[in-house]
Amino acid sequence: MPFLLYQQSPSPDGGTEYAQLRELSLAGKTDGLIYPFVKAYAPKAEVFPWHAKVNDLLDEAGIPAKRHSVVVDLKPTVHGNLSLFELTDVWGYSYAEWTPLALRMERLFIDRTVPDPDRTKQRFSDEGCGREPVYEFLYLQGGLRGGTWRWGPVGSVNGVLLWPDALAYFLDRITDSLGGPPLTAEEDAE
């Protein structure tokens, strides 16, 4: 699932035009977007619940955020399929050696049939895209005291185990991002 850096500009059709610049990574210590953000803002604590807009991550990594976006290529190897999502927010819950993540993305294209997906990904307009939010949970093998900051092992079934404190944090942030009321302590305990 590649993460791609795009430059944005107004499109003649009234939408936004996306021009692909290069692939980038959220994971890793040397070239990942998340590690420099957490390193810059983490307090001396046992855990660090945090939130970053994509622009925050780009800025902290030295990439000018203005008119740039990060697009997730959900199905890069499926022939004729275009499934792209724009990454908007990342919530993390950094423990000592690992960090579960919740990604908020907006749908650009899902399972769109195109003759040459790689060519289409080079330049496209978001005119007519539904932009519904979608969330994905992942984790990094790095935290407040160390680790590689690489993705957890990838397999046919890959998920993140969320302890109650991290799950409550993510649910509260996601509910808030959808415009709903935050969970009460009683609802959170249920």
Q: Is 125 helix (H, G, I), strand (E, B) or coil?
A: strand
Quick check: pTM over 0.75?
A: yes
Span 93-99, average pLDDT: 96
> In the predicted model, is pLDDT for residue 188 greater than 80?
no
Strand bridging mode 48-53 / 99-113 = unpaired
What is the structure's pLDDT at 154? 65
Work out the number of other CB atoms within 10 angstroms of the CB of residue 156.
4
- CA separation for the pair 97, 143 (Å, rounded): 4
For residue 96, how far is the Cα from the chain centroid? Answer: 21
151 DSSP β-pair partners: 140
